[in-house]
Amino acid sequence: MSRDATSEQLQGMESTAGYGEAAEALAEQYESVTFAEVHREVLHLFPTRPGTVLDVGAGSGRDAAALAAQGHRVVAAEPTAELRSLGRRRHADQRIEWTDDALPELPGLVAAGTRFDLILLTAVWMHLDERQRTLAMARLAGLLTGGGRIILSLRHGPVPEGRRMFPVTAQETTGLARRHGLDFLHHAQREDPHGRPGVSWTYLGFERDETRDVAGA
The residues near 171 (Cβ < 8 Å, ≥ 6 apart) are: none
pLDDT reported for residue 214: 52
Provide the 8-state DSSP code for 214.
P
Mean pLDDT (the chain, rounded): 88
Long-range own/partner contacts, residues 82-85 (CB < 8 A, 24 or more apart): 82/19, 82/20, 82/23, 82/24, 83/19, 83/20, 83/23, 83/26, 83/27, 83/58, 83/59, 84/58
Q: What gap in Å lies between CA 105 and CA 207, rounded to an integer?
A: 20
**pLDDT per position as a tens digit, 67-125:** 999 999 999 999 988 999 999 999 999 999 999 999 999 999 999 999 999 999 999 99
Q: Would you say 88 and 98 are in contact if contact means Cβ atoms under 8 Å apart?
A: yes
Give the whole-number percent of the chain exceeding pLDDT 70: 87
pTM of the full structure = 0.87
pLDDT at site 141: 97
Euclidean distance between CA atoms 53 and 46, whole angstroms: 10
Say which range, 5-9, 161-165, 210-214, has the weakest mean pLDDT: 5-9
Name the percent of the chain lying above pLDDT 90. Answer: 73
The yes-or-no verdict on residue 4 having pLDDT over 50 is: no
Topology of 7-208 in CATH? Rossmann fold (3.40.50)
Show Cβ contacts of residue 129 under 8 Å, excluding neighbours closer than 6 positions: 7, 10, 11, 166
Domain range annotation of the chain? 7-208
